[in-house]
């Protein structure tokens, strides 16, 4: 059992390495900026969904308020840069730390809540954040923050036309989020979480340590999400409360993991690779009709996938593997 587990983990690592290497080569052949843009978004959502999956999938604390951390990351970076000239790289770190601290402060009272009470608590906390930013004049309030375009530079992480730097950053972020998840699966925390899932009574005896591990998961998840937010601010170079902290964003972060397979290593990646191009393409090529057809197609697919593959699309792969093993 242990050997197969270790084997599987080693194989996962090798597969991930190969995929990342292949992904890194893709932009050398695909030069269309529109397609590159979709690839950047796909990687970004893969990273975000992977981070979300740590808290909500593995740890079982379903959060629909991760837009809060995403927005905090984006705002910290943009505010530090436009108001104080602090380079976005420090903003990224700062935003991540702030978000992690806030996630722990919020986790303390919230982790006592169960099921939908927890979910709704995360939603309303993010909404409170959104409303506060909407009314905070110093942070631009509704006007948002327009990050001025200067010349291309890695220092300010700004590139006028090229998507490649953003692509590689997003790829790196997705890889880091994946590696953190991979590492957590085999850590003490990972074992506790599985134990709690398999046997809720074990939660009682493990009470304190499990609680602490949840706080840890919240902090890691929030940190990575905030880095994603910082990235988004640099990538789009304009942020406003609605577009970085809106409820829709929380759902968009959860969707890839849910469709791909919640609480699985590969689910968020798979989900993002399918969902994000689908969203973008339906909007671009049927959205222009103005009749809502893109919404109908997109919504129908969500319903069908979640009904037909409740364990997520990764189920398709594991089933085949099982078949092959037999």
Partner 1 sequence: MPLTAETIIQSLASGLLMGLLYGLIAVGLALIFGLMDVVNFAHGEFLMIAMYATFFLFAFFAIDPLLSAPLVAAALFVFGAVVYLLIVRFAVRAKANAGMVQIFSTFGLAIVMRGLAQFFFTPDYRSVTHSWLGGKTVSIAGVFLPVPQLVGALVAIAAFGALYFFINRTDFGRALEATREDAGAVALVGIDKNRVFALGWGLGAALVGLSGAIMAMFFYIYPDVGASFALIAYVTVALGGFGSVFGAFAGGIIVGLVEATTALILPPSLKSVGIYAVYLLVVFVRPRGLFGSM
Partner 2 sequence: MTITRRNVLLGATATAALLPIAARAQTSEVVIGVIYPLSGASAQIGVDAQKAFETAADLINKNYDFALPLAKGEGLSGLGGAKVRLVFADHQADPQKGRAEAERLITQEKVCAIVGTYQSAVAVTVSQICERYQIPFISADNSSPSLHRRGLKFYFRAAPHDEMFSAAMFDFFDALKKKGQKIETLSLFHEDTIFGTDSSNTQLKLAASRGYKVVADIKYRANSPSLTAEVQQLKAANADVLMPSSYTTDGILLVKTMAELGYKPKNIVAQDAGFSEKALYDAVGDKLEGVISRGSFSLDLAAKRPMVGAINEMYRTKSGKDFNDYSSRQFMGLIVMADAINRAKSTDGEKIREALIATDMPGEATIMPWKRVKFDEMGQNNDADPVLLQYTGGKFVTIFPAQAAVAEAIWPMK
In the complex, which residues of this chain contact partner 2 (CB under 8 A)? 29-35, 37-38, 41, 131, 134-135, 141-144, 146, 148-149, 160-161, 232, 236-240, 242-243, 277, 280-281, 283-284, 287-290, 292, 294-295
The answer to the question of residue 54 lying near partner 1 (CB under 8 A) is: no
Q: How far is the CB of 63 from partner 1 (least distance, A)?
A: 12
Q: Which stretch binds partner 1 (CB under 8 A): 120-128, 185-193, 195-203, 233-241?
A: 120-128
For 146, half-sphere exposure in the C-beta direction (CA atoms, 13 angstrom radius) is: 3
d(CA 255, CA 271): 7
Q: How far is the CB of 41 from partner 2 (least distance, A)?
A: 8
d(CA 126, CA 306): 25
CB atoms within 10 A of CB 274: 17
d(CA 10, CA 169): 25
Q: How far is the CB of 303 from partner 1 (least distance, A)?
A: 4
Which residue, 29 or 84, is less far from partner 2 as judged by CB?
A: 29
The answer to the question of residue 281 lying near partner 1 (CB under 8 A) is: no
Q: Residue 62, by phi and psi: left (phi above 0), alpha (psi -120 to 50) or beta?
A: beta
* Three-state secondary-structure class, residue 311: coil
Write out the two tokens for 23.
């992904």
DSSP per residue, 159-177: -SS--HHHHHHHHHHHHHH
The answer to the question of residue 291 lying near partner 1 (CB under 8 A) is: yes
**CA angle (127, 68, 108) in 5-degree steps:** 95
Can you tell me which residue has the tokens 């409303």? 131
Q: How far is the CB of 172 from partner 2 (least distance, A)?
A: 20
Provide φ and ψ at 262, rounded to 5°: -75, 140
Residue 242 interacts with which of partner 2, partner 1, none, CB < 5 to 8 Å by class: partner 2
Residue 128 interacts with which of partner 1, partner 2, none, CB < 5 to 8 Å by class: partner 1
In this structure, the strands spanning 145-146 and 238-239 are antiparallel
Q: How far is the CB of 185 from partner 2 (least distance, A)?
A: 32
Q: How far is the CB of 259 from partner 2 (least distance, A)?
A: 19
The answer to the question of residue 109 lying near partner 1 (CB under 8 A) is: yes
| Residues of this chain that bind partner 1 (CB under 8 A) | 62, 109, 112-117, 120-121, 123-125, 127-128, 131-132, 134-135, 247, 251, 255, 258-259, 262-263, 290-304, 306-307, 310-312
């Amino acid at each position: 059992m242990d050997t197969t587990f270790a084997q599987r983990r080693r194989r996962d690592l090798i597969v991930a390495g190969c995929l990342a290497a292949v992904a890194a080569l893709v932009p050398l052949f695909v030069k269309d900026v529109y397609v590159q843009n979709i690839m950047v978004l796909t990687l970004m959502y893969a990273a975000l969904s992977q981070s979300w999956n740590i808290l909500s999938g593995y740890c079982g604390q379903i959060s629909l308020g991760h837009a809060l951390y995403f927005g905090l990351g984006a705002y910290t970076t943009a505010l530090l840069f436009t108001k104080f000239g602090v380079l976005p790289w420090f903003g990224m770190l700062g935003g991540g730390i702030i978000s992690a601290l806030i996630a722990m402060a919020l986790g303390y009272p919230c982790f006592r809540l169960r099921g939908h009470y927890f979910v709704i608590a995360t939603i309303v906390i993010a909404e409170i954040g959104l409303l506060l930013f909407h009314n905070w004049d110093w942070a631009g309030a509704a006007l948002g923050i327009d990050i001025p375009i200067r010349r291309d530079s890695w220092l300010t992480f700004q590139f006028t036309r090229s998507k490649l730097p953003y692509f590689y950053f997003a790829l790196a972020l997705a890889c880091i989020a994946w590696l953190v998840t991979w590492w957590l699966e085999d850590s003490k925390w990972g074992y506790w979480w599985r134990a709690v899932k398999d046997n809720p009574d074990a939660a009682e005896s493990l009470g304190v340590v499990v609680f602490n591990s949840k706080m840890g998961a919240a902090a890691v998840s929030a940190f990575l999400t905030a880095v994603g937010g910082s990235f988004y601010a640099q990538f789009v170079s304009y942020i406003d409360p609605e577009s970085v902290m809106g409820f829709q964003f929380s759902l968009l972060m959860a969707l890839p993991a849910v469709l791909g397979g919640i609480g699985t290593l590969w689910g968020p990646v798979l989900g993002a690779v399918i969902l994000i191009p689908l969203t973008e393409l339906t909007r671009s090529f049927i959205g222009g009709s103005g009749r809502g057809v893109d919404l109908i197609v997109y919504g129908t697919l969500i319903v069908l996938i979640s009904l037909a593959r409740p364990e997520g699309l990764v189920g398709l792969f594991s089933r085949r593997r099982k078949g092959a093993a037999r």
